[in-house]
Structure 1
Amino acid sequence: MNTVIETILNHRSIRAFEDRALTDEQVQWIVKSAQAASTSSFVQAYSIIGIKSPEKKAKLAELAGNQEAVRRNGHFFVFCLDSYRHEISVELEGGDPNDYQASFESTEWFMVGVIDAALAAQNAAIAAESMGLGICYIGGLRNQLHEVAELLDTPNRVIPLFGLAAGYPSAPSATKPRLPSDHIYHEDAYPQDLERYKRQLQQYNEEISAYYLERTQGKRADRWTAQMQARMARPSRLYMKSFLESKGLPLK
């Protein structure tokens, strides 16, 4: 165990922040840490948009489902898939981007950008938490991406993926129990023992139910598998394919 691992294991989502802005130096270190993340073939297919404007934070909060963590925080980062710089790179080298559509429109290229952005964001999150800050990922930005893209003035081939609110926590929260490690980590092959698999999930249900009972003073006792069933019963953001097409990324 070391301080890095302690920071990682102490993670919890923080949704209530003090009204206290991060310094420019803090923001720079968080961004530099994000950029130090691994990137597929040195592609660096992401960009980060920092939001300082209270008006833009308020609008993004509204678009994300009226989330207070978006409106009030120390700094708000928006992580984007970015293939625009690669289009410009082709032009700088004397090429025609239209001749590279097979790459730009491939599902693999899209996955590279999403993975690059996610790796960078997690580095940013750990850097922020190492400073004593709290963070919360905001996937709700994808609720209304046309409006988010217009607000952020993102060019073609740039897709806002999620937000990261960072700041000084104003209210404590507990770490939420994760799935047991032996349900996540497998050696050499994926396990096919269905009964053992179900037992692990049932045991996890008991742990999560106990967590909610304590956290809510007996008002909730949710099972994780029930949460997942309910989540999958409500397909969300089904416009995503058409939005990607509208931004020059029709996947093939």
Structure 2
Amino acid sequence: MNEMIETILNHRSVRSFKDEPLTEEQIKIIISSAQSASTSSYIQAYSIIGVTDKKKKKKLAELAGNQSYVELNGHFFVFCADLYRHEVVGKMTGKDVISSIESTEKFMVALIDTALAAQNAALAAESMGLGICYIGGIRNNLEQVCKILKTPDRVIPLFGLAVGYPNKETTKKPRLPFEHVYHENEYCQDAEIYMKQLESYDQVVSSYYQERTMGKRKDTWTGQIANMLERQSRMYMKDFVQSKKMNLR
């Protein structure tokens, strides 16, 4: 065990921040940490937009489902999959890169690169005593988000990251059991084993919610996830991705 591992294992989402902006130094450290993440073939297929304009933050908060912590935080970052600069690279060098840029593989590379960079940023922030919360809600209406952030074709905002000084200590949500996530040599496909593991996990999650809400909530993980997956959401995504000239050939 060391400080980095303790920081990782101590993660919890923060949704209430003090009215205290991050310093320029903190922002640079967070971005530099993001840039130090691994990147496939050195392609670096992401960009990060820091949103400081109060009107833009308020509008993004509304689009994300009226999540106040999108507006009220120390700094709000938006992580974008970005292949626009690679189109520019093609023009600079006189190379035909469009077919590659529009491949499903490069789209996946951009998604993975962006996620790796964001997690480095999150860990850097938490190591400085800051709290973070990922905001997937900005994908509720990406057309409007792109207009607010003025992103070009081949750039897709994937999620936000609210960062700041926590107003209060929050509790950690229990994760799936180690043996349910980790497979050795091959994937375990025994449904009965899976169900037993999930039943045990349901008890842990239900106890967590009961304690956190003083008995007002008793959700199980499987019930919560099944209800969520039963409702289709953001089904416009394929058409939107293609409209941004990521045609997934």
User: Matched residue of 2:97: which SS?
Assistant: helix
Q: How far apart in 1 are the matches of 2:133 and 2:22?
A: 15
- Structure 1 CA distance for aligned equivalents of residues 136 and 168 of structure 2: 21
Task: Quote the residue 2:89 is aligned against.
Answer: 89
Aligned-residue offset at 1:172: 1.8
In the other structure, the counterpart of 1:241 is 238
The worse-fitting range, judged by mean Cα deviation, of 27-36 and 101-110 is 101-110
Counterpart mapping for 1:127-166 below 5 A: 127-166=124-163
- Aligned partner of residue 80 in structure 1, secondary structure: strand
Aligned to 1:111: 108
Kept in 2, the 8 Å contact 1:75–1:166? The answer is: yes
The answer as to whether partners of 2:87 and 2:98 remain within 8 angstroms in 1 is no
Q: CA deviation at 1:244?
A: 1.1
1:182 counterpart = 2:179: yes
Query: Aligned residue for 1:20?
Result: 20
- Which of structure 1's runs of 4+ aligned residues deviate more than 2 A? 99-102
Residue 120 (1) aligns with residue 117 (2) = yes
Q: Which residue of 2 aligns with 1:58?
A: 58
Q: Is it true that 1:205 corresponds to 2:202 in the alignment?
A: yes
Identity of aligned residues (%): 61
Partner SS for 1:236: coil
Partner of 2:219: 222
Pick aligned residue for 2:247 from 243, 247, 250: 250
Is 2:203 aligned against 1:171?
Answer: no
CA contact (8 A) 1:80 1:161 kept: yes
Deviations 1:109-159 (A, max 9, x none): 111000000000000000000000000000000000000001000011010
Q: Output the amino acid matched with 2:234.
A: R
Deviations 1:61-97 (A, max 9, x none): 01111111101000000000000000000111023xx
Letter in 1 for 2:70: V
The whole-number CA distance in structure 2 between the counterparts of 1:174 and 1:150 is 36
Q: Indicate the residue corresponding to 1:5 in structure 2.
A: 5
1:192-239 C-alpha deviation (Å, 9 max, x unpaired): 322221110000000000000000000011010011110111111011
Contact residue 241 and residue 250 of structure 1 kept, 8 A: no
- How far residue 171 of structure 1 moved from its aligned partner, in angstroms, is 2.2
Count of equivalent residues: 249
Contact conserved, 2:202 with 2:220, CA < 8 A, in 1?
yes
Matched to 2:224, the amino acid is Q
Query: What 5-or-longer segments of structure 1 have no aligned partner?
Result: none
In the aligned structure 1, how far is the partner of 2:11 from the partner of 2:63?
Answer: 26
- CA shift at 1:163, angstroms? 0.2
TM-align CA RMSD: 0.8
Tell me the amino acid that sits aligned with residue 198 of structure 1.
Answer: M
